[in-house]
Amino acid sequence: MNRWNIQEIAFYGIGDRRRTLKFDIGKVNVITGASGTGKSAIIDAIDYCLGSKECKLPFFVRNHAEAVAVHWVQGSRDLIVGRKIPKAGSGTSQMYVRTGRHLKLPAASAGLEGPTNRDVARALIEKAFGIQDAEDPVISLKSEKGRATVRDIPPYLFLSGDVIVSRETLLHDLNRPKKAPDIKATIPYFLGAVDQASVLAARVLRQLEAALTKIEREAAAKARSQSLLTERSMALLTQAQEIGLVVELPSPSAPDAVLLDQLAGVAGRGVASTDMRDSEARAVLEEDRRTIVSELQTLRGKRQMLRQTIRDAAGYETAVSAQSHKLRLVDHMKLDDGRCPVCESQNDVGQAMAEKIRSSLSIITREALAVDGIRPHLNDHFEEIESLIASKYNRLREIEAQLSGLVRVGEELGTLGSILQERARVVGRIDQFLETTAKDFQVASTDTAMLVSRIEDLKEQVDPQARRERLRDAENMVSAFATEMLTDLPTEVPATGSRVVFSSTPSLSLVEPSRRAVLAMAEIGSDQNYLAIHLALSFSLQKLFETIKAPVPGLLVIDQISRPYYPKGGDEKRLQEMEKDDDQVAMKQIVRFLFDETARQTGLQVILIEHAYIEEDPEYVAAVKGRWTKASGEKLIPSDWPVRN
């Protein structure tokens, strides 16, 4: 056996009491009985020992059992996972994990070995199952979107009571808002679309991209600071020129170091400089201001046109993408068999129609690729325009500051009446600026060339196009498996004869055979149909996992396949208690499917929790591991167990 199965589940009570459930490896195992005997708690126990944060075990179990342990086996390998049961509240943090060969469950909870905390326990289970995408155990313990953990495998192991006939929920826990994002994020990993290396590369890529974003954000802040330094330096130099301390203003594009050196020269010479005022300085600045205002108007017009172009491209891309997704269903229309896709007859008109459909698909594909290629260039050009506008605004502020300085100097000269006094004031301002403000803006630049190069290398390694192709291949495989399995299960119109279309979003739809209408889950109707669909999907996913050697145990725990045929609650049911003969036939067909499909898949184990006891089927009777009926008084937790203190 090359997949993990469950050999035993043990519940421990006080006084060294132990209740053990034993299961056959690679086969169907059945536990039947009355409601309220604790059958459904088997799912809760397995989930709890897979490191769930919550403990969903029912009150009676919590009140009488102090620990639970699950014994997993894979060939000669053993994995025993135990956990203390709280009397109330969330799950306990203490767990027990032991791996090895020829291990056995202890007789009492005190014998559980390998005590550890929940996070480390989960990491050890992941290592045993093969859910490893990082060698660093510290990294593997971190919770990160897109990283698969042992908490992401229950949707593929359990067909619980709230899912098995649901018209809305496709997988276990998918209806829980806190769990759904993790299921959707990790399903590509379990479907084999990404491997361990690409998962790690994607994680490092996200970290480096975040680091680059931070550096760029800090660089932008520094650039703003440098712009302010330039603005203030030019304003002081303009004032110095106006009162004859500077012969000629430097270029506004001069490096800050040049500006600071010139200011230092003015401060060093003091007030003894010769009057070198340039009466045309204000006129030149006014002309520069008019030019920049005109350029800003032109750039803003270009930005508005480019923003509209990007918006139109995005809308077109969305429309093309939606149309492409709809036309994916044409993959199931067998356009290459030479028959008309509408009437299925063999004729030239049908072949021509099929050719037109293929041509349409090709056109849509090319248009989608064209949009994908144009969008980055549009975005880059938009960013260039934004950068130019920001640069022009910065220069405009510098000019206005210089003009304000000239005006202020003129006013102050009229008030002070002394050129020497004004020179002394300007030199004082420059000294204070150089001693305090300028030092705050002196920052070192960061070279991001190596970081950018590393990011580009990782993008090539992650290869999103190859990921999409592998994901689509897995979707097609599951769809084909499920379509074939659906024919072996009892269904009603419109599910009868329909093709299954599975998507990793995850979602599922049917293409009904008469009109080839595409039906969402909510449109299908009938508990019997929903039961068949969930069974077909669960077994199909397990078949894919077996094929691609995914790190998912070969286990399906199914809570009551007889839900569409028996009323809720009550004692163990017999086949003859079904009101309709058709229901009895359907029930037998489902049971046959379970045994036959389990036998066809290597290493698959099924634990069936049922009300029905089908004594007419010898294989079913042989698979029964417990009959917890009202007459026998047998339960998951014996009634004579004492209450915990």
- All structural domains of the chain with their residue ranges: 212-440
Report DSSP state, residue 346.
B
Using the CB atoms, write b or e for 89-126: b if 16+ within 10 Å: eebeeebbbbbeeebebbebbeebebeeebebbbbbbb
Instruction: State which amino acid sits at residue 360.
Output: S
Contact between 545 and 190 under an 8 Å Cβ cutoff? The reply is: yes
First to last CA, the chain: 42
Give the number of other Cβ atoms within 10 Å of residue 145's Cβ. Answer: 11
Query: CA 608, 611, 617, 619 torsion: positive or negative?
Result: positive
Q: Whole-angstrom Cα distance, residue 444 to residue 215?
A: 12
Q: Whole-angstrom Cα distance, residue 246 to residue 260?
A: 13
Kindly provide the residue ranges of all beta strands, DSSP E only, lying in 1-93, ordered along the sequence: 5-13, 17-22, 28-33, 67-74, 77-84
Kindly provide the residue ranges of all beta strands, DSSP E only, lying in 119-189, ordered along the sequence: 158-159
Q: pLDDT digits over 285-342, tens only?
A: 778 888 888 888 888 888 888 888 877 777 766 666 666 655 555 555 555 555 665 5
Q: Whole-angstrom Cα distance, residue 64 to residue 13?
A: 6
Query: CA 48, 53, 56, 61 torsion: positive or negative?
Result: positive
* The residue count for the chain: 645
Q: Is 88 helix (H, G, I), strand (E, B) or coil?
A: coil
Q: What is the pTM of this model?
A: 0.63
Q: Is 116 helix (H, G, I), strand (E, B) or coil?
A: strand
Cis before 255 (ω within 30)? no
Q: Whole-angstrom Cα distance, residue 512 to residue 515?
A: 7
Q: Specify burial of residue 400 (Cβ count, 10 A radius: 0-12, 13-18, 19+).
A: middle
Contact between 486 and 532 under an 8 Å Cβ cutoff? The reply is: yes
* pLDDT attached to residue 134: 38
* pLDDT attached to residue 172: 93
Q: Whole-angstrom Cα distance, residue 27 to residue 604?
A: 7
- What the block records as the tokens of 20 is 């053990």
Give the closest residue to 10 by CA, choosing from 129, 106, 151.
106
Cis before 494 (ω within 30)? yes
Contact between 66 and 96 under an 8 Å Cβ cutoff? The reply is: no
Q: Whole-angstrom Cα distance, residue 506 to residue 168?
A: 12
Report residues of the chain scoring pLDDT below 50: 134-144, 225, 273-279, 416, 443-444
Q: Whole-angstrom Cα distance, residue 330 to residue 499?
A: 12
Contact between 346 and 338 under an 8 Å Cβ cutoff? The reply is: yes
- What the block records as the tokens of 113 is 């070995």
Q: How far are the Cα atoms of 170, 478, 522 from residue 504, in angstroms, in the given order?
A: 11, 10, 18
Give the pairing of strands 5-13 and 17-22.
antiparallel
